[in-house]
A = this chain, B = another copy of it.
Amino acid sequence: MNAPFEFTISATHQRARAGIFHTPHGPIQTPIFAPVGTQATVKSLTPAQLDELGATLVLANTYHLYLRPGEALIDRLGGLHTFMQWPRPILTDSGGFQVFSLAGTRKIDEDGVTFKSHIDGSFHRLTPESSVAIQEALGADIIMAFDECAPPDDRAYNERALARTHAWAERCRLAHQRRDQALFGIVQGGVFADLRAQSAAYIASLGFPGNAIGGLSVGETKAEMHAMLETVDAILPQEKPRYLMGVGSPADLVNGVLRGVDIFDCVLPTRLARHHAAITRTGRLNLVNAIHQDDPRPILESCGCYTCQHFSRAYLRHLILAKEMLAATLLTIHNIHTLLQLMGDLRQSILEGTLEPFAAQFFADQEQTS
């Protein structure tokens, strides 16, 4: 029997790691991709379909659930696992990112953020303490420190925001009570290596059971993202899981794993599905295009997902043009399958010591297609 939140590393390959992160709702085999269930549902899928896809960790958004239906209601109904009927591990973010990206008028002070709901315009306030309290009420296995998300290339802004993010991380740590939840700290610092290094060192010093890397995949270049990951990788403790927030294109997943990341989440597979796009390892296919009109082939001949095992591109295009909900469901199934399979292959190649040729082939295939 493993203690909650023990992280065992089964194998490493250069910077990459294959491990198991233990949670009260079961083990998470890393590296892992977590589908996003913003409003306590991974859009267009039942939990049964998600389970069939082999999903383990699912993310839900504190900002959205706080506003609707409210964490008190979810708590009364037995917590998020019972509410959304996901019996495996759940991660909630802190609400910070959404306050800075989604909410209307906001006012930041040292104590927290006042913002306007994107739903009804009402005013709300989040602080490190209230974010933790909300996440305790929601009851996810992994919860996140409340941070400030700055534009990646504004140095002065990042310096100010970093000081606040660090102070808030410490306040979150002190506020957090539930022993059956792992609170992760978040490294910020934009695209500035010295700030990232400083942040990684500070967050690491707080001794969280896991550490996240925030504020990436928000407009910086790929080279900048990789440089920041390498900077942070060298400083964060090896023996704790690292979570790269909001990242999920196939290439970003491979690049993240190569740079020591264990956990990823992204709305990409669900959002692209609603915009009619299928993800493959080498690119995207938009099924609304007329070229698919008569095509009896699946999205990908080699794909083992329910969608590709059954449906033609012509049928998917028909569903899209007819505005049928099933289009989003079938594309979501394919897209999540694609990312979960990629993570499984990455994990396997780490365990087998073949990550290097696997990654080389992956990037060669991408090169050839682009």
The chain A residues found within 8 Å of chain B, CB to CB, are 39-41, 43-49, 64, 68-69, 73, 76-78, 83-85, 293-294, 296, 306, 310-312, 314-315, 317-319, 321-322, 324-326, 328-330
Contacts and interface: CB of A to CB of B under 8 A. Distances in A.
A320 to B, nearest CB: 11
A64 B321 CA distance: 12
B325 A77 contact: no
Given A85-B311, A296-B78, A321 B46 contact: no
Contacts of A330: 46
A68 B322 contact: yes
Nearest to A295: B77
Given A39-B318, A73-B318, A329-B329, 13 more contacts: A39-B319, A40-B315, A41-B319, A43-B324, A43-B326, A46-B330, A47-B310, A64-B322, A68-B321, A77-B314, A83-B312, A83-B314, A85-B311
A45 B44 CA distance: 10
A318 B40 contact: yes
Chain copies in the assembled complex: 2
Contact of A45 (B318, B326, B328): B326
Contact of A294 (B76, B317, B324): B76
A77 B315 contact: yes
A317 B69 CA distance: 9
Given A48-B306, A326-B45, A315 B84 contact: yes
Contacts of A312: 77, 83
Give the most central of A41, A306, A311: most B CB within 10 Å.
A41
Nearest to A314: B77
B68 A318 contact: yes
A318 B69 contact: yes
A73 B329 contact: no
Nearest to A328: B325
Nearest to A321: B68
Contacts of A41: 319, 322, 324, 326
User: What are the 5 tightest A-B residue pairs by CB atom distance, in nearest-first order?
Assistant: A39-B322, A69-B318, A44-B325, A85-B310, A41-B326
Nearest to A296: B77
A165 B347 CA distance: 66
Nearest to A48: B306
A322 B76 CA distance: 19
22 contacts: A39-B319, A39-B324, A40-B315, A40-B318, A41-B319, A43-B324, A45-B326, A46-B330, A47-B310, A68-B322, A69-B314, A69-B318, A76-B296, A77-B296, A77-B312, A77-B315, A83-B312, A83-B314, A83-B318, A85-B310, A85-B315, A329-B329
